[in-house]
Chain A
Amino acid sequence: MTEPLHRVVRHEGGSVLATLVRLTGDISLAEDAVQDAVEEALRRWPREGVPSNPAGWLTVVARNRALDVLRREAKRTQKEGDAVLLDEVTASFREDTTDSMVRDDMLRLVFTCCHPALSMESRVALSLRILCGVSTVEIARVFLVPDATVGQRISRAKKKIASAHIPYRVPADHELPDRLASVLVVVHAIVTAGHHSPEGRLDARADLAEEGIRLARLLCDLMPDEPECAGLLALALATHARRDARLDADGELVLLPQQDRSRWRLDEIREAEAVLDAAIHRRRAGPYQLQAAIACLHGLAATFDDTDWPQIAELYRMLERLQPTPVTRVNRAVAVGEAEGAAAGLRLLDDLDEAEVESWHLYWSARAELLVRVGRPADAVEAFERALACTPNDSDRRFLQRRRDEVSG
Chain B
Amino acid sequence: MPRYAALIYGDENPADLGDAQQWAAIMNEYNDFGATAGAAGVLAGGEALQPTTTATTVHVNGGKGGEVLTTDGPFAETKEVLGGFYLIDCADLDEAIRWAAQIPGAWHGRVEVRPVVDFTQQ
Point out residues on A near B: beta carbons under 8 Å.
Answer: 81, 115-119, 122, 156, 159-160, 163-167, 171, 175, 178
Given A117-B97, A156-B53, A160-B54, A165-B92 contact (CB < 8 Å): yes
Q: How far is the CB of A286 from chain B (nearest CB, A)?
A: 17
A164→B54 contact, CB < 8 A: yes
Q: Is B93 an interface residue (CB 8 A)?
A: yes
Taking CB atoms, residues of chain A closer than 8 Å to B94 are 166-167, 171, 175
Bound-complex Cα distance A159 to B55 (A): 11
Task: Give 13 A-B contacts (CB < 8 Å), ordered by A residue.
Answer: A115-B93, A116-B70, A119-B71, A159-B54, A164-B50, A164-B55, A164-B113, A165-B91, A165-B92, A165-B93, A166-B92, A171-B94, A175-B94
For chain B, the count of residues having a C-beta within 8 Å of the partner chain is: 18
When chains A and B are docked, how far (Å) is the Cα of A171 from the Cα of B68? 15
Closest 4 CB pairs of A and B: A119-B72, A167-B92, A117-B56, A164-B54
Q: A117-B56, A160-B54 are in contact. Are A165 and B115 (CB under 8 A)?
A: yes
What residues of A have a CB within 8 angstroms of the CB of B56 in the complex? 117, 164
CA distance A204 to B57 in the complex (A): 34
The verdict on A178 contacting B53 (CB below 8 Å), with A117-B93, A164-B93 known, is no
A159/B93 contact (C-beta < 8 A), A117-B70, A119-B72, A178-B68 known: no
For the complex, what is the distance from the CA of A163 to the CA of B92, rounded to whole Å?
10
Q: How far is the CB of A21 from chain B (nearest CB, A)?
A: 15
CA distance A172 to B72 in the complex (A): 22
In the complex, A337 Cα to B80 Cα: how many Å? 46
Complex interface residues of chain B between 26 and 50 (CB less than 8 A to chain A): 50
B54 cross-chain contacts in A, Cβ below 8 A? 159-160, 163-164
- B55: nearest residue on chain A (CB-CB)? A164
**In the complex, chain B residues 51-74 whose Cβ is within 8 Å of any chain A Cβ:** 53-56, 68, 70-73
Contact B73 A119 (CB under 8 A): yes
A166 touches B93 (CB 8 A): yes
The CA of A81 and the CA of B93, in the complex, are separated in Å by 22
- The smallest beta-carbon distance between A295 and chain B, in angstroms, is 28
- Residue contact A163 to B50, C-beta cutoff 8 Å: yes
Which of the listed residues A118, A159, A160 has the most CB atoms from chain B within 10 Å of its own CB?
A160
Known: A159-B54, A166-B94. 9 other contacts (CB 8 A): A117-B56, A118-B72, A122-B72, A159-B53, A163-B115, A164-B93, A165-B91, A166-B92, A167-B91
Q: What is the bound-complex CA distance between A165 and B121, given in angstroms?
A: 13
Chain B residues with CB under 8 Å of A163's CB are: 50, 54, 115
Give the distance to chain B from A85, nearest Cβ to Cβ, in Å. 11
Residue ID in chain A nearest B67 by CB atoms: A178
